[in-house]
Amino acid sequence: MIPAPAFLFDLDGTLADTLPDLAASTNHVRALHELPPADDATVREFIGDGARALLRRALAERRPDERALDRAFAAYVEHHEAECTRSCRLFQGAREHLVELQERRCPIAIVTNKPERFARPVVAHLGLDAFTDVIIGGDTLPTKKPDPAMLELALHRLRADRSTATMIGDGLQDLRAGKALGSRTIGCLFGYSEATKLRDEGADAFWSSFGVLS
């Protein structure tokens, strides 16, 4: 029997709209640095490379050194542990698509640059743990996407083959990681990255909304 193909999903901006919660914690840290709140559109541009990179971008006016970033990250963690599931929601069509993959017995994993300490509560809150217990976060390994190591670990835990795997995400780092792995890639145009940049990066397919080919 030929094994079913594996599907690796990004979380923020792909499976779930987590922007309001990310913005709330980002602006909490900005307020501690006497900076005005950033609007959602601006915070959206900070997302994709993990929480520490988000804070470096959010505090760019203050040009923080590594010690200042450590303090900012500690403040972010304290706030976001209480905030990370407050407003997040699945994108329309996500659950139905995952049910279909589950019925086809396709292995599923979530591979996100979001720290695992936040990814797992979000996954549980949204009921995504009904579809997978393989969750690779931005702090699971020393590297993050676009390094393909996170994807390789997910496939190892799924006992799945990279040659039939698909990486699905809304960020350039998702597509680049999938390509580096040698897997199929799907770019989510409805997520947090600019659609034109995703198209310029190239993918095997694009979704205009969850599961809907563009």
Alpha carbon distances (Å) from 170 to 79, 121, 187, 204: 25, 21, 5, 13
- Which residue in 10, 12, 49, 174 is the catalytic one? 10
* CA–CA gap between residue 167 and residue 47 (Å, rounded): 18
Q: Choose among 87, 89, 84, 155: nearest CA to 115.
A: 84
Query: Bridge partners of 16?
Result: 12, 90
Assess contact for 177 and 148: CB atoms under 8 A. Answer: yes
| 88's tokens | 């997040």
Backbone angles phi, psi at 168, to 5 degrees: -120, 120
Catalytic residue list contains 10: yes
Sort strands 108-111 and 135-136 into parallel, antiparallel or unpaired: parallel
Cα separations in angstroms, 141 against 108, 136, 144: 19, 8, 7
Active site residues: 10
